[in-house]
Structure 1
Amino acid sequence: MARMSTRPAQRVTIAHVAQEAGVSRATVSRVMNGLATVDPEIGKRVREAAAKLNYSPSTVARSLAIGRTQTVAIVVPDLANPMFQETLRGLSRAAAREGYRVLVADSIENPDEEVILAREARRRCDALVLVSPRMDVAHLGELLPELAPVVLVNRESPVPGVPSLAVDYGAGIRSILGELARLGHNRIAYLAGPETSHGNQRRLDALHSLPASAPEVIEIPCGAMFEDGYRAREAVLGSGATAAVCFNDLVALGLLGALHEAGIAVPERLSVTGFDDIPFARFASPALTTVSVPQTELGEQAWARLWDLLNGREPEDDVVVTPRLEARASSGTAAAAATSVA
């Protein structure tokens, strides 16, 4: 009976590829690292040898050779939120086309943890994307220079030269209020997001600057997750509002679930709106009225600006996205709501 060897197979190294291709190790290294200083015919021979031997270059050695890790990091306040997942998807797909991978860090809505994660992630990667940072503007302004190259998403940059892809949250909330006013709502509850959220503050700024002719808005402290909206049901119903404008779609979906459990008809008794247009929004029952923010596209654009910075080019101009109203079945006329309450 033949004996089977238990010795591990020998790992193919750069020396084996060099011997197979009839070139030096340095030439193989240059070809594997994509340097343009090698004759195309020799480069082809090296790649064919590598494929024949099933050679995979060491990522550590490659990073040392080219001075890059081929990774970037993204820091988000809550990875459970599908909105941030869409940003990650856009960034990851775009980065992969250039041979980069994305590391993800979740600060769990903690501004202090966010600072630590941003610094640690940047030390391990070539560049960083900060999404909806919760830290205040002073801390953000101090931190950004040491994180370069860095791109901000969903927030304006307080530091010149740091690219940003921002959202006009004020315009988004005004479009929702305008739609509800058109439907006859005069008393509206706003379920506020986290106090540290820049986007929430921009929404509040817009609500506080509404003209006297606008509907009355009652602010209800809430949060950013399903359970926050779920717990807000009694506060909303007790406010006398005929419509609830929620900080985001997750809060709105949580509120819809609580209202359904209590037998409260939407929109007949209470209209409910969200913000972001996450994939679940259109499939809710009833389909959720919200405003759409193209987070996947913002992730792709964040990579485009990082790629320019990594290659010593001037990035494209900053962008401010205006959310688009998506009127669906969860919003209805105030007359219908008032009739149902009676």
Structure 2
Amino acid sequence: MSRIRSEKGDAVTRRSPGRLTISDVAAKAEVSLSTVSRVMNGSTKVDPALTERVREAAFALGYAASPLARSLVLGKTQTVSVVVPDLGNPTFQGALRGLSSGAASANYHVLVADSFEDPSKEAELAIEARRRSDGIVLCAPRMSDDELNALLPQIAPAVVINRTPTSARVPVVAADYRSGFAQLLNHLNGLGHKRLLFLGGAEGSASNRDRLAAVDDFGLAHPETTIDVLSGYVTFAEGYASANAVIDSKATGVLAFNDLVAMGLLSALSERGVSVPGDVSVTGFDDIQFAQYTTPPLTTAAVPTPELGAQAWARMWDLLNDRQPAYNLSFGPLVVPRGTTGPIS
């Protein structure tokens, strides 16, 4: 089998014996190869009468364009890439589910690259992934603002989840971590807790900076409350390892960076005979699917991560079709009170 070019330069396939190709459809419809190519790939610029003739010919012959042939004609891969900091984190898995569902409805595939929480790898991963796809989604990138702003023009079209670039103009969908964390602080304050501890996340995390901003706001409004901050807690294991620091802090309320950290802490406190919420109240963040099944069930702030992914895909689809993407979107997390928080004893 060999490839030829139509008069418009479109890549097509020469017929092999017994196998239908675009040439057969063109011959039956009595149109050019380029016209068939445009019709098969959904172009709206072909005369409606010619479009109908091509479709009738394809139906009569039982011809369906293969994804590979379509990619060759359009110069597209029918793939979008996603770069995430940690594929093992259920929060990012939720966003991927929402994005993948939308992509599948448009016959697109999703290529995933994991930076393993290493900001130094993100730009290289993103550039390489973009070479293999038609567009890219950066999910909560950890790199600096300057690095992000420099990268985005190189990998366009791009959409960003849970991060707002300071200068590059790209579609953004995000959760309002600042307001969500403020709600958790107010929740513990309403239960009478005046000595709090925040098990903060990675230093380069923008969502961690948003949480710290909420801590600063709360501290100014509630000078009678003490809020200590520790850094570097992202995973279940790190939450588990924080137990001694939590006990030594004498805090009556602990706010974990995310649900994984909170769940790790709950496990370690249980082993040490520390009662939750009798001795200390604990909150998470994200409301991953396991949060309601901890012992006791975890108080957290719910983030609609599948919807974040779905909205990111909607904006990517607009970019891929040369349309103005929808406005940037921010979701406000809501506190879900459960059994790990209670009145100070």
TM-score band, normalised by the shorter chain?
A: 0.7 to 0.9
Q: Distance in 2 between matches of 1:163 and 1:203?
A: 23
Deviations 1:247-267 (A, max 9, x none): 000100111111122222211
1:14 to 14, 21, 44: 21
Separation in structure 1 between the aligned mates of residue 36 and residue 152 of structure 2, nearest angstrom: 38
Question: Which residue of 1 is the match for residue 190 of structure 2?
Answer: 182
Answer whether contact 1:289 1:330 (CA < 8 A) is retained.
Answer: yes
User: Could you say which residue in structure 2 is the equivalent of 1:77?
Assistant: 85
User: In structure 2, what residue type is equivalent to 1:259?
Assistant: L
Task: Give yes or no for contact 1:151–1:163 (8 Å, CA) kept in 2.
Answer: yes
Q: How far apart, in 2, do the equivalents of 1:148 and 1:16 lie?
A: 34
**Which residue pairs with 1:254 in the alignment?**
264
d(CA) in 1 for partners of 2:51, 2:173? 41
> Which AA in structure 2 matches 1:102?
V
Instruction: Give the alignment of 1:158-307 within 5 angstroms.
Output: 158-209=166-217, 210-211=219-220, 212-213=222-223, 215-307=225-317
Q: Match of 1:74, SS?
A: strand
Q: From the superposition, tell whether residues 47 and 84 of structure 1 become closer, same or farther in structure 2 (CA, over 3 Å).
A: farther
**What's the CA shift for 1:277?**
0.9
8 A contact 2:252–2:344 mirrored in 1:
yes
Contact 1:76 1:84 in 2 (8 A): yes
Measured after TM superposition, the shift of residue 130 of structure 1 is 0.5
Summarize the Cα distance change of 1:219–1:48 in structure 2 as closer, same or farther, 3 Å threshold.
farther
Cα shift at 1:67: 2.4
Rounded to whole Å, the distance in 2 between the matches of 1:151 and 1:15 is: 35
CA distance in 1: counterparts of 2:65 and 2:224, whole angstroms? 64
Matches of 1:148 and 1:297, distance apart in 2 = 22
Task: Find out whether 1:43 has 2:50 as its counterpart.
Answer: no
Q: Which segments of 5 or more consecutive residues in structure 1 lack a partner in the other structure?
A: 1-9, 336-342
Match of 2:66 in 1: 57
The question of whether the paired residues in 2 share the 8 Å contact of 1:15 and 1:25 is answered with: no
TM, length-normalised to structure 1: 0.87
CA contact (8 A) 1:14 1:28 kept: no
Work out the CA distance in 2 between the residues paired with 1:221 and 1:48.
66
Q: Quick check: 1:86–1:299 contact (8 Å CA) kept in 2?
A: yes
In the superposition, relative to structure 1, how do residues 214 and 135 fare at CA in structure 2: closer, same or farther (>3 Å)? Answer: farther
Partner residue in 2 for 1:89: 97
Structure 2 segments unaligned to the other structure (5+ residues): 1-16
Are 1:321 and 2:334 matched, yes or no? no
Provide the C-alpha distance between the structure 1 equivalents of 2:18 and 2:166, rounded to a whole number of angstroms: 50
Find the counterpart in structure 2 of residue 146 from structure 1: 154
Larger mean CA deviation between 69-78 and 152-161 belongs to 152-161
| CA drift at 1:34 | 3.0
TM-score (norm 2): 0.87
The residue type paired with residue 44 of structure 1 is: E
For residue 62 of structure 2, give the secondary structure of its aligned residue in structure 1.
Answer: helix
Aligned partner letter, 1:194: A
